[in-house]
Structure 1
C-alpha cells in the first residue's frame, strides 16, 4: 500500500529558467502521481518572508501602506520584508520593524510559520508579535515609499474581516493575535 506522505512525483529532468537576487524559477519534467508525463514550475525564494504585528500596551497596532508592484495596487499590511537565511529570523523581524515604523520592541513572540503559496513556491513565512514598544525614526529602504498608520487592533481586525486587508501574512497574524487576546494569552 502507498504511504500518502511519500512524494508521488518523479522528476525526469530540470531546467533553470530564471534567476535574480531574490528568486529563481525552475521547470521540471515530471511523471505525475498517475505516472503520466508533465511539467511543474517552482519558484524558489532566496529569503524568508518575515512579518511583524506590533501591539502597544493600549492595544493599538501599526500598519504600513505601500504600492505593491506585483499586484498593481495599494496595500495596507503589517511591517514585512525578507530575512536572509544566514541571519536569525528574529533579527530580521527586529530590523524590519525599525526600518518600516521606527519601532523597537522589548518583547517578541513567534506566533506562526506558514507557506505562502505551496502550489508554485517554497516561500516560508515567519510571523512575530512585537510588544512593549518604543518609538524611534523609521529607516525605509530606497524601494519603499511607506505610509505608517496607527490604529486600534480591533479596527484592524474589522478591516481583515471585511476584506479591506488582503495581505496573507497580515491576515494570518491578526487572526492569530485575536485568538490569543480572546484566550488571555497576551501581556
Structure 2
C-alpha cells in the first residue's frame, strides 16, 4: 500500500473538509466526511472505522481448522477460519496467536504473515492481517462470554463443498481456502 502522503499527490485524491462523528460503538465507529473532489465539487463519504483484525489459516494433519458460528448480520451460521479484532495497541501477530488458541484450542509454535487486505474499501477502513501456520500444539479454548462456536478440521474437498453450499462465504475464509489450494499445488503462497 502507498504511503498516505504520496496519496495526496494523486489526481483522484479527495481532501477531507469536515468530519462528523455519527456513532461510537465498542467495535466500530461511523463518521460522515465532507470531501473536496478532484473536479472542485464536494461530496459526502460515510466511513466505518475499525481497529483491524487478524485471521489464521491453520493446517493440522492436512486439514484446515475452522469455526462454525452464528453471524447476526447474515442471519445464518457460517464456517470461517479463526479470526478476531485487534485489541488497542496489540500487534497483529500477537492477536493472531491469541485468537487461534482462544477459538480452536490450538497454539501455533510458529506463524507466518501471508497478506494484509482491506475488507470493504468503499466504506470501511478495516484491514485484516492473514497468517499461516502448520506448526500446532494442543492448547486450551478460551471463548469470550458472548462467543458461541465449535471448531472442526476440514479437508480441502470439504472446504470446497462448504463454499458451494454457502456455508463458507466470507472473504477471509474464501481467500484462505484458495491460498491453501495454491500452497498444496505449488508449495508456496
**TM-score category of the 2 structures, normalised to the smaller one:** 0.7 to 0.9
Name the TM-score, length of structure 2 as normaliser. 0.87
- Which residue does the alignment assign to 1:54? 58
- Which residue does the alignment assign to 1:75? 78
CA distance in 1, matches of 2:157, 2:66: 13
How far apart are residue 161 of structure 1 and its match? Answer: 5.7
CA distance in 2, matches of 1:141, 1:129: 23
The CA deviation string for residues 66-108 of structure 1, in whole angstroms up to 9 with x for no partner, is 1112222111101110112512211101110110010012231
CA distance in 2, matches of 1:161, 1:175: 14
After TM superposition, list the pairs within 5 Å mapping 1:92-131 onto structure 2. 92-131=95-134
- Which residue does the alignment assign to 2:42? 37
Q: Structure 1 60/20 Cα, relative in aligned 2: closer, same or farther at 3 Å?
A: same
How many aligned residue pairs are there?
182
CA distance in 1, matches of 2:156, 2:145: 29
How far apart are residue 33 of structure 1 and its match? Answer: 3.4
Q: More helix per residue: 1 or 2?
A: 2
Name the TM-score, length of structure 1 as normaliser. 0.87
- Is 2:19 aligned against 1:14? yes
- Which residue does the alignment assign to 1:149? 152
Structure 2: tracts of 5 or more residues without a match: 1-7
- Give the superposed CA RMSD: 2.1
Q: Structure 1 66/162 Cα, relative in aligned 2: closer, same or farther at 3 Å?
A: closer
How far apart are residue 37 of structure 1 and its match? Answer: 2.7
CA distance in 2, matches of 1:12, 1:146: 44
Q: Structure 1 113/100 Cα, relative in aligned 2: closer, same or farther at 3 Å?
A: same
- Matched residue of 2:73: which SS? coil
CA distance in 1, matches of 2:10, 2:158: 41
Equivalent pair of 2:53/2:92 in contact (CA under 8 Å): no
How far apart are residue 168 of structure 1 and its match? Answer: 0.9
The CA deviation string for residues 101-154 of structure 1, in whole angstroms up to 9 with x for no partner, is 100122311111100000001000001112121123211111110011222234
How far apart are residue 162 of structure 1 and its match? Answer: 5.9
CA distance in 2, matches of 1:31, 1:48: 27
Structure 1: tracts of 5 or more residues without a match: none
CA distance in 2, matches of 1:33, 1:85: 35
